[in-house]
Amino acid sequence: MCLAIPVKVEQLLSDDMALVNIGGVKKEISVALIEDLAIGDYVIMHVGYALNKIDPQEAEHTLELFREMGVLEQVLSDHGVTP
């Protein structure tokens, strides 16, 4: 029930609807719950409705956090240190 996926907004349609791209598949969904939506935005889609926008900067920040962790481990192991 709570499973929802990030989809890309490709076209804004009338009646608060939008055409979105779900990994290559196109679908019309309702974006009535979202404010200030633009083409190219990613939204979380759930039961045919967009619930929220994805913040690309925050997404990158989280990935950066993961990467830093990976890099740190790599540097330590390169120096033969077991942290």
Question: Which residues are at the interface with other proteins (CB under 8 A)?
Answer: 1-6, 8, 22-23, 30, 32-35, 42, 44, 46-49, 51-56, 58-59, 61-63, 65-67, 69-70, 73, 83
Smallest gap from Cβ 54 to other proteins, in A, equals: 5
Q: What is the DSSP letter of 10?
A: E
User: Which residues neighbour 31 within 8 Å (Cβ) at sequence distance 6 or greater?
Assistant: 9, 12, 16, 17, 18, 37, 43, 49, 50
Name the residue nearer to other proteins (CB basis): 18 or 42.
42
Bridge partners, residue 35, by sequence: none
Bridge partners, residue 50, by sequence: 45
Name the residue nearer to other proteins (CB basis): 39 or 63.
63
Name the residue nearer to other proteins (CB basis): 11 or 67.
67
Smallest gap from Cβ 72 to other proteins, in A, equals: 9
CA atoms of 16 and 24, how far apart (whole Å)? 22
